[in-house]
């Protein structure tokens, strides 16, 4: 275990304080495993806010940003590991993160200060704030499920963010990896309209070749895939 890992019980207390509404599945917790399962309840679907939880979810909020903006092939994926840095899984990301000390976390402070390279897509201020909040909350390996309201599936209400966070580092600036650019409404709509089956296979991880499953580092949580599929079926509502 890393030296900067807070004692397990402390992490749990912090998490409980941060999100008293969360249902934490205790049976999955052991000292050896920093993974914490959080299942925020849906807030009734009254608006586009997915759940009442204030917990930043590593699997759905943090990892996709590192993978998409830093972990592309040729950069910080497992195969390329430029400068020895891998940013496609929790353990490797924690090599440059100190829980509750964002200003001492290299893999946080470098963002916008040299990385990603100037010519690559950049994280937004909101993305960076999410990373900081995750570090402030203890940089836990929170694995959240049930994090979306699948009754919300407009572009502005859901799909824009899903694509930006999960695909943006590779397909968010032109021409985009494999010449697939999904960085705005019109481009995403026209690409998906012309390549619906290929696109659906990519996000559902049912492509004929594993390299075509997207994101390549891991399938998105089911409810986000559902939101995108509903958006396509409904004719791409704005």
Task: Report the interface residues with ligand HEC, using CB under 6 A.
Answer: 67-68, 71-73, 166-167, 169-171, 177-178, 180, 198-199, 202-203, 211-212, 214-215, 220
Kindly state the smallest distance separating residue 160's Cβ from ligand HEC, in Å: 12
Kindly state the smallest distance separating residue 211's Cβ from ligand HEC, in Å: 4
Number of Cβ within 10 Å of residue 231's Cβ equals 24
Nearer to ligand HEC, 111 or 214 (CB): 214
Nearer to ligand HEC, 52 or 212 (CB): 212
CA–CA separation, 119 vs 121, rounded Å? 7
Q: How many CA atoms lie within 13 A of 140 on its CB side?
A: 28
Q: Left, alpha or beta for 44 (phi > 0: left; psi -120 to 50: alpha)?
A: left
Kindly state the smallest distance separating residue 33's Cβ from ligand HEC, in Å: 26
Residue tagged 């699997």 (tokens)? 59
Kindly state the smallest distance separating residue 39's Cβ from ligand HEC, in Å: 22
CA–CA separation, 202 vs 132, rounded Å? 30
- What is the token pair recorded at 118? 């100037």
**C-beta nearest to ligand HEC: residue:** 167
Nearer to ligand HEC, 137 or 213 (CB): 213
Nearer to ligand HEC, 139 or 163 (CB): 163
* Sign of the C-alpha dihedral computed for residues 219, 225, 226 and 232 taken in this order: negative
């Amino acid at each position: 275990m890393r030296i900067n890992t807070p004692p397990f019980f402390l992490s749990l207390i912090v998490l409980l304080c941060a999100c008293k509404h969360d249902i934490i599945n205790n049976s999955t917790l052991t000292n050896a495993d920093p993974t914490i399962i959080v299942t925020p309840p849906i807030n009734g679907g009254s608006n586009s806010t997915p759940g009442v939880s204030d917990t930043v979810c590593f699997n759905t909020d943090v990892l996709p940003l590192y993978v998409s903006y830093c972990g592309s092939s040729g950069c910080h994926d497992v195969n390329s590991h430029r400068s020895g840095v891998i940013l496609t899984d929790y353990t490797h990301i924690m090599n440059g993160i100190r829980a509750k000390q964002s200003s001492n976390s290299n893999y946080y402070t470098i963002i916008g200060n040299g990385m990603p390279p100037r010519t690559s897509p950049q994280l937004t201020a909101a993305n960076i704030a999410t990373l900081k909040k995750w570090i402030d909350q203890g940089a836990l390996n929170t694995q959240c499920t049930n994090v979306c309201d699948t009754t919300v599936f407009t572009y502005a209400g859901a799909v824009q963010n899903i694509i930006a966070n999960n695909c943006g580092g590779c397909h968010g600036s032109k021409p985009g990896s494999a010449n697939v650019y999904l960085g705005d409404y019109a481009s995403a709509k026209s690409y998906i309209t012309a390549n619906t089956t290929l696109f659906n296979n990519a996000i559902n991880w049912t492509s004929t070749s594993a390299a075509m499953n997207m994101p390549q580092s891991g399938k998105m949580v089911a409810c986000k895939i559902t939101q995108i599929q509903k958006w396509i079926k409904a004719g791409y509502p704005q």
